[in-house]
């Protein structure tokens, strides 16, 4: 890298190298990220809006979906504007505070989404395996507790790792070989031995990935067992239809995040890692609203009613 290509007045902050060695690629990525970002804002904003305004969607399933959309909305907003700013100009810098906030929020939201997807799997288990007692077993108070646990665990993890990462001695190193502030590339700037910290970070990341994923697999194991006991094809299709969207979202989220955090990286895989990280940050926020909208008749009907008529006052909230 040629230092002259970057704005060297980083003021104690960092330089996000990103894709600076490929200017032609930066222009393409700028357009793609901008499109993905705008569509993500529109899609997740629509999900949140219709889930709040349509009383028929005041159910546990859409309550958790609203939280998922909110997580995706904040996550993509935390990363995309800074990335677009760096791709669109010569200044690749980010302030120390900006980097700290970005690391804190993205790490916290990523951990929160892992736990939240497990809570959504439990909701689907109750809906399919205990349909007659669904609203008894999933009252609003429990839904709020489960959502609160997801947010608490996610940001507890972030509040532990972010200060450690940001205070590692860097001996003047400030060029992050990434397009946003993330723990693994920032640890590469450290001029001290980070072996133990890397092991601890990998262990905690594994817990946040493996434990929720295990709960998801257990939930869907029970769901599969219940579905096989349903005699009518229509009943099976209806039961699987309630889970198809969530399974698709889980597959997209975990396939990218497992590569980003758990797959060993060879020395020459920086570009591949950055592209996968880009997919991890953009794809869930972009795809989740599409998946839940196209596969869900209730959401499509709620959007149609929202467009066709004004909502009544007092139709907001999960009760």
- What are the E-state strand segments in the chain? 14-16, 93-94, 175-176
Radius of gyration of the chain (CA): 21
For 89-106, write each residue's pLDDT tens digit: 888 889 999 999 999 999
Q: For the domain bounded by 12-308, which CATH number is listed?
A: 1.20.1070.10
- What's the pLDDT at 5? 45
Residue ranges of domains in the chain: 12-308
Provide the pLDDT for residue 150: 95
Write the pLDDT tens digit of every residue in 12-30. 689 988 887 778 888 899 9
Total-model pTM: 0.86
Q: Write down the pLDDT at residue 151.
A: 96
| Residues lower than pLDDT 70 in the chain | 1-12, 233-236, 238-242, 260-270, 294-295, 309-319
């Amino acid at each position: 890298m040629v230092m002259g290509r970057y704005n060297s007045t980083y003021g104690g902050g960092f330089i996000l190298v990103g894709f600076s060695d490929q200017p032609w690629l930066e222009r393409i990525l700028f357009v793609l990220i901008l499109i993905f970002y705008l569509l993500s804002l529109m899609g997740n904003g629509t999900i949140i809006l219709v889930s709040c305004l349509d009383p028929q969607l005041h159910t546990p399933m859409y309550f958790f979906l609203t939280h998922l959309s909110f997580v995706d909305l904040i996550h993509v907003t935390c990363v995309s504007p800074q990335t677009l700013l760096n791709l669109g100009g010569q200044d690749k810098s980010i302030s120390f505070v900006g980097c700290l906030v970005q690391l804190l929020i993205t790490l916290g939201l990523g951990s929160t989404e892992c736990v939240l997807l497990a809570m959504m799997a439990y909701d689907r288990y109750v809906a399919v395996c205990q349909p007659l007692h669904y609203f008894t077993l999933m009252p609003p108070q429990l839904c709020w507790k489960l959502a609160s646990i997801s947010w608490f665990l996610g940001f507890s993890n972030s509040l532990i790792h972010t200060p450690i990462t940001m205070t590692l001695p860097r001996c003047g190193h400030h060029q992050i070989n990434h397009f946003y502030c993330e723990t693994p590339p920032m640890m590469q700037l450290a001029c001290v031995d980070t072996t133990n910290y890397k092991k601890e970070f990998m262990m905690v990341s594994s817990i946040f990935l493996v434990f929720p994923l295990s709960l998801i697999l257990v939930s869907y194991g029970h769901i599969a067992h219940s579905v096989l006991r349903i005699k009518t094809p229509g009943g099976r299709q209806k039961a699987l239809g309630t889970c198809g969207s969530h399974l698709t979202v889980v597959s997209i989220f975990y396939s990218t995040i497992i590569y980003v955090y758990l797959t060993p990286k060879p020395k020459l895989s920086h570009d591949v890692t950055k592209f996968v990280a880009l997919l991890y940050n953009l794809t869930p926020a972009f795809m989740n609203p599409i998946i839940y909208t196209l596969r869900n008749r209730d959401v499509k009907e709620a959007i149609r009613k929202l467009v066709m008529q004004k909502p009544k006052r007092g139709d907001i909230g999960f009760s």
